[in-house]
Amino acid sequence: MFKLHIETGYQAFYQAEGQEVARILRDLADQVAHLKELPCPTTLKSSKDSKPLRDREGNEVGYYTAWSSQYMTRPTVKGAKPISKGGSPYQEWNK
């Protein structure tokens, strides 16, 4: 799972909002691409585990939080098994 939030009301966005968002997303993609795996959700203590996103002027303009969905279980089925490694939270559940 991946949660992302960017506020675009800062000076760096005024001239070329789309370009600045794209730059932030490219930087973020480079960071995430080097992760071997996303953390287990039980290791995330709070929203403080979110990582800051910064504009080209160094202002903190948002955050992202990432965790692996492979540890999650089906919430409505008692005793459900975790999603298989590489599974998607959008896949259909086996009946």
pLDDT the model gives residue 95: 42
Q: Is residue 93 part of a domain?
A: no
Give the domain extent around 48.
2-71
**Based on the structure, what is the number of domains in the chain?**
1
With H, G, I as helix, E, B as strand and everything else as coil, classify residue 80. coil
pTM value is 0.64
Considering the domain boundaries, does residue 48 fall inside one?
Answer: yes
Q: Which residues of the chain have pLDDT under 50?
A: 46-48, 74, 84, 88-95
In a domain, 28, yes or no: yes
Q: What is the pLDDT of residue 53?
A: 95
In whole angstroms, give the CA distance from residue 4 to residue 11: 20
In a domain, 8, yes or no: yes
Token readout for 84 is: 């298989």
- Main-chain dihedrals φ then ψ at residue 51, nearest 5 degrees: -100, 140
The reply to whether 87 falls in a domain is no
Residue 47 in any domain: the answer is yes
